[in-house]
């Protein structure tokens, strides 16, 4: 459930509701603290910056699979050490199959950004994309520029499954439901490394490795808009903390 913020400060207690299924980790389990906002303990900036902001998709975001179908992000199936071939496959921006190998979920009240965008191509003039994401979540602008949601504005152009689209509406909304993100891995990681890991060790790998992929291969399509998995989001956050832009990150 979400509603448009009225501009007044709204302080609510956080709600911890982690999922315990194998391959689906709570936000806390990969080194984050839920306390009204999401802070990576390794990247926390005492001065406050975009590095402090959460980087997730709203529950229900449709993620495009390799076969062209879409699934709500919370229903994606990750590969596990006991069943490496079970994970859903997505299609990377360069046409290679990539595989869901880890998922993170949490729930707490937080402001999010909801963007509405329309394709610029006349062929798709009747199409429209709507995506709700955390303030620190990045989307792809052009071919290589990742921009945090909090910095997006009406009139900006973002990348979608139909090419460039212009943001026609940007809203700050109050969101009080589950937020999700995923980690993607290469087929090599799935077959060669994943079977050697215990469930307890798996999240250390997904949180600290590129999992056999280039940064561009961690891009995913959520509600038709190109964004990134949690590898893109956390590494982009680190660059932001260091004062570097994300223009050439992917």
211 closest CA partner among 87, 70, 125, 100: 100
Q: Specify the pLDDT at position 1.
A: 54
Radius of gyration of the chain (CA): 17
Helix, strand or coil, per DSSP, at residue 37: coil
According to the model, what pLDDT value does residue 18 have?
36
CA distances from 211 to 49, 67, 94, 121, 187 (A): 28, 22, 16, 35, 9
- In angstroms, the CA 203 to CA 194 distance is 11
In the structure, what pLDDT confidence band is assigned to residue 236 with cuts at 50, 70 and 90? low
Q: How many other CB atoms are there within 10 angstroms of residue 202's CB atom?
A: 22
Bridge-based pairing of strands 32-34 and 38-40 is antiparallel
pLDDT of 52 reads 54
Task: Give pLDDT tens digits for 1-38.
Answer: 555 443 433 344 333 433 333 344 444 433 332 222 33
Q: Can you tell me the mean pLDDT for 179-193? A: 90
Enumerate domains of the chain plus CATH numbers.
Answer: 2-6+13-241 (2.170.16.10)
- DSSP-based three-state secondary structure for 110: strand
Which sign, positive or negative, has the C-alpha torsion 143, 145, 146, 149?
negative
250 or 22, greater pLDDT: 250
pLDDT (tens digit, 9 = 90+) per residue, 41-87? 233 333 344 545 667 899 999 999 999 999 999 999 988 777 777 88
Per-residue pLDDT tens for 93-144? 888 899 998 888 888 788 899 999 999 999 998 999 999 999 889 898 877 7
Q: 88 versus 22: which is more confidently predicted?
A: 88
* Structure-token pair, residue 142: 């052009």
> Highest mean pLDDT range out of 44-58, 215-229, 236-250?
215-229
pLDDT at 238: 58
């Amino acid at each position: 459930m979400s509603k448009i913020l009225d501009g007044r400060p709204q302080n609510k207690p956080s709600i911890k509701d982690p999922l315990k299924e194998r391959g689906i980790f709570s936000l806390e389990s990969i080194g984050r603290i839920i306390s009204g906002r999401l802070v990576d303990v390794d990247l926390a900036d005492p001065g406050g910056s975009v590095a402090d902001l959460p980087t997730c998709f709203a529950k229900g975001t449709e993620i495009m699979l390799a076969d062209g179908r879409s699934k709500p992000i919370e229903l994606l199936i990750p590969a596990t050490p006991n069943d490496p071939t079970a994970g859903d496959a997505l299609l990377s921006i360069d046409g290679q199959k990539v595989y869901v190998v880890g998922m993170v979920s949490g729930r707490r009240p937080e402001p999010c950004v909801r963007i509405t965008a329309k394709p610029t191509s006349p062929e798709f003039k009747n199409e429209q994309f709507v995506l709700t994401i955390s303030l620190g979540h990045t989307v792809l602008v052009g071919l290589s520029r990742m921009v945090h949601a909090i910095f997006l504005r009406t009139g900006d152009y973002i990348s979608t499954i139909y090419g460039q689209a212009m943001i026609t509406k940007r809203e700050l909304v109050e969101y009080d439901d589950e937020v999700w993100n995923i980690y993607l891995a290469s087929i090599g990681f799935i077959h060669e490394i994943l079977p050697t890991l215990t469930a307890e060790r798996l999240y250390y790998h997904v949180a600290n490795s590129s999992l056999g992929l280039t940064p561009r291969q961690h891009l995913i399509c959520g509600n038709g808009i190109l964004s990134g998995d949690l590898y893109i989001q956390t590494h982009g956050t680190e660059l932001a903390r260091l004062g570097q832009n994300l223009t050439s990150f992917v």
